[in-house]
Amino acid sequence: MGNKWYMTAEDIAADLGIDEKEAGRLLRNLGERIKRKGGCYIAGRVPVSYYQKMKDTDFMSPDGMEADCCPLNQKRLLSLKEFCVYASFGQNTARQFAKKAGIEKRIGHKVLYDRVLFDDWCDKNKSMEM
């Protein structure tokens, strides 16, 4: 990557060891992510810094333009979506479970789920009647 500011499909193919067609698809996907976040995207190129950030997360980050992201097991309060991923629940089951187990926390209108209380509940209990 050296002194480059932008990555092209050829650069990505060489860096990842994939064919240029696949690299082109990846490049378009990265460009779409940039546009969705309101960034400027030059067709056929992505900034090296953005590419590197996405590569570091195996291109799995839902938003490579986030400043700092910490793993779910390091956060205390989780959103519904994060809690569903963490607990392997659907949204309805997660809401019902959280109310019964007492792990739902409200801050104003925002509803968050306490990961530590969930972990404690899992350690102490085997099942719950829904």
Tell me the per-residue pLDDT of 73-97, one tens digit each, with 9 for 90 and over: 678 899 999 899 888 999 999 999 9
- List the domain range (segments joined by +) for residue 14: 6-56
- Where do we find the tokens 């090296």? 48
Tell me the per-residue pLDDT of 45-69, one tens digit each, with 9 for 90 and over: 888 888 888 888 777 666 544 444 5
Residue 70 CB-half CA count within 13 A: 6
Convert 42-51 to b/e letters by CB count within 10 Å (16 or more is b). eeebbbbebb
Give the model's pLDDT for residue 104. Answer: 94
Spatial separation of the C-alpha atoms in residues 35 and 9, rounded to whole Å = 18
Residue 61 domain-assigned (yes or no):
no
Residue 63 domain-assigned (yes or no):
no
Residue 64 domain-assigned (yes or no):
no
pTM: 0.47
Give the model's pLDDT for residue 61. Answer: 63
Q: Do 108 and 84 fall into the same domain? A: yes
Q: Do 52 and 77 fall into the same domain? A: no
Q: Please say whether the dihedral angle defined by the alpha carbons of residues 39, 45, 46 and 47, taken in this order, is positive or negative.
A: negative
